[in-house]
Amino acid sequence: MSVSAASHLSPSYPDRAAWGTAPKLRAWQQEAYDLYVQREPRDFLTVATPGAGKTTYALRIASELLSRGVVRALTIVTPTEHLKRQWADAAARVGIGIDPEFKNSQGATSRDYTGVAVTYAQIAMHPALHRARTEARKTLVIFDEIHHAGDAKSWGDGVREAFEPATRRLALTGTPFRSDESPIPFVTYVEDGEGALRSVADYSYGYGPALGDGVVRPVIFLAYSGEMKWRTRAGDEIAATLGTPLTKDQLSQAWRAALDPKGDWIRQVIHAADRRLTEVRRGVPDAGGLVIASDHESARAYARHIRTVTGEGAEVVLSDDPGASKKIKDFATSERRWLVAVRMVSEGVDIPRLCVGVYATSTSTPLFFAQAVGRFVRARKRGETASVFLPSVPVLMGLAGEMETERDHVLGRRRDEDGLDDMLLEQAQQEKKQPDALGDELPFQTLEASATFDRVLFDGGEFGTAAAPGSPEEEDFIGLPGLLEPDQVASLLRKRQADQQAAMRKTRKGEEQAPALAPHEQLAELRKELNGLVGAWNHRTGQPHGVIHAELRRACGGPAIAQATAEQVRERIAMIRKWATQRR
């Protein structure tokens, strides 16, 4: 292994560097590499946002250590089987032979290889074997997405036992936070002054800096609400509007109805996403889309919807398909429009041409959401944008609005901190062949599910007004150019927001001359709209509904909502929308 081979690493694989990056290493990669070489540490944790190029950086370090004789062997530990092959392919490009098919039963691999790629589960099954391999040769261990070493006690114990003797350990993650308090092996924790232990990275490169450097794409979130109707196990029929304040049970069932392949909501959203993909492909000809489904049955149904909408079949990737890795690899190098998968491509899988996504799963852990969105942010050239379609559900709206928030893994924190304890990632990543059951209910029956364009979320702001699918108002945002700088995205969103508000004022003026609704009906609709916005602001800020209403009264004047006139309610609606676009 020569140093020159490593020095010519492309900033991203497969040979698709982001616009403006250095011909060898991106600035952050070079900075992190220099810090590593300066310190010569045994353990080093690098936190870099998904899509930043952690693989390139890690292999540059591996090449250096191998060329200097600091280590003689390399072990790469990944969360999934597919990522083993992806790492082996990347390593081969720089002359490092990695065996991705190594089995515990083999004991040893061919002399043609410098090392092996294994999974965390594989290590947990036979840690003594991997400890013996680590002790036999001076070894560098690269932990891909190190937070997975805390997924189960057996995994963490196995990783510690197997790699405690390693000469060097390089830990990588794009999302260091976890939903539980399982300690991550070989990660340093320090007191945070509040009685908790917080993980400490040796080098961090977050989404915000990466976006500023042009290393990742800006993400536009397009949220869809809609009317849902379903039948309970008792035979009762319930209707609710997704995107308005609902009880926990109502929200869960309305969300499920939206994702039901038999309803119109998912069909309409897929159709909108495909229209968005067509627009993006004007500037990015090979741009692809990904639908992340909850279960196998839904994934196949979504693929049928895509064929109906586009006339072209979608690639369906399921974990129990022995050809899944090949399908992903083939899709990555093709120009096909759509890929449908069940969770397995939410983390680490490198398909740089993915620009449009549909978040069609009920999984809501912050970690899973960040990893899923990470599939769309891998920039290849200046101006590429990512678009993610999702249900207008408070937890998802909150996560979308916090894209630039960075978290560390905390042990002993208050259980309500950051809302990270909703589900374990291990449960979130499990694939399912059938839809989730709601407690002990009889089979869930969706009666109606229709979509309504709700709003766009970008850079902490909210834009747009409720609109029917296919309407000019929706098209204002679906039709955004696919090649835009982040500041251009924000500027264009603000302009389209202003244009829509001006059109609404003009329409209202006409309605006042010839009202289509009786006064009490008009006032009821306005109050409903305001209450929905207050509910969204409550989720975003944590302020109680009553406090938000009081603040609106102070800002706009007028009596309580029950006595307010239609014009006064409209003023409050405009004010809270202004907060959403201007406040951080």
Among 489, 508, 527, residue at a domain's last position? 508
Instruction: Please report the pLDDT score of residue 259 as a whole number.
Output: 95
The dihedral built from the CA positions of residue 237, 455, 556 and 402, taken in this order, carries a sign that is positive
Q: Name the residue range of residue 561's domain.
A: 519-582
Supply the DSSP string of 260-297, one letter for each residue: -TTSHHHHHHHHHHHHHHHHHHHHSTT-EEEEEESBHH
The dihedral built from the CA positions of residue 240, 245, 251 and 257, taken in this order, carries a sign that is positive
Q: How many independent structural domains does the chain possess?
A: 3
User: Is-above-0.85 flag for pTM?
Assistant: no
- Asked whether the beta carbons of 460 and 398 are under 8 A apart, the reply is no
pLDDT above 90 covers a percentage of the chain that reads 36
16 in any annotated domain: no
Cα(352)–Cα(380) distance, integer angstroms: 7
The tens digit of pLDDT for each residue in 17-35 reads: 333 333 478 899 999 999 9
CATH number of the domain at 170, please: 3.40.50.10810
Among 178, 206, 234, residue at a domain's last position? 206
> Are residue 185 and residue 228 in the same domain, yes or no?
no
Write out the two tokens for 109. Answer: 């691999």
Instruction: Please report the pLDDT score of residue 427 as a whole number.
Output: 41
SS3 of 201-227: CCEEECHHHHHHHCCECCEEEEEEEEE
Confidence of residue 507 (pLDDT cuts 50, 70, 90): low
Q: Which residue has the tokens 């909150």?
A: 398
Cα(519)–Cα(521) distance, integer angstroms: 5
**Burial 250-269, CB ≥16 within 10 A → b, else e:** bbbbbbbbbbbbebbbbbbb
> Are residue 66 and residue 40 in the same domain, yes or no?
yes
The tens digit of pLDDT for each residue in 396-416 reads: 988 888 775 555 544 554 443
149 in any annotated domain: yes
428 in any annotated domain: no
424 in any annotated domain: no
The tens digit of pLDDT for each residue in 38-87 reads: 999 999 999 998 888 899 999 999 999 999 999 999 999 998 888 899 89
Could you tell me the CA-to-CA distances from 465 to 95, 270, 454, 477 in Å, in that order?
Answer: 54, 20, 6, 11
> Are residue 504 and residue 525 in the same domain, yes or no?
no
> Are residue 471 and residue 390 in the same domain, yes or no?
yes
Q: What angle do CA 57, 60, 62 make, to 5 degrees?
A: 110
Instruction: Please report the pLDDT score of residue 160 as a whole number.
Output: 93
> Are residue 536 and residue 390 in the same domain, yes or no?
no
CA atoms within a 13 Å half-sphere pointing along the CA-CB vector of 135: 10
Mean pLDDT on 294-318: 91
Q: What is the mean pLDDT of the chain?
A: 81
> Are residue 148 and residue 267 in the same domain, yes or no?
no
Is residue 510 over pLDDT 60? Answer: no
Cα(507)–Cα(512) distance, integer angstroms: 9
Is residue 527 over pLDDT 70? Answer: yes
380 in any annotated domain: yes
Q: How many residues does the chain have?
A: 584
> Are residue 503 and residue 529 in the same domain, yes or no?
no
> Are residue 105 and residue 230 in the same domain, yes or no?
no
577 in any annotated domain: yes
Instruction: Please report the pLDDT score of residue 18 as a whole number.
Output: 36
pLDDT above 70 covers a percentage of the chain that reads 81
Confidence of residue 505 (pLDDT cuts 50, 70, 90): low
Among 209-213, 328-332, 335-339, which is the least confidently predicted range? 209-213
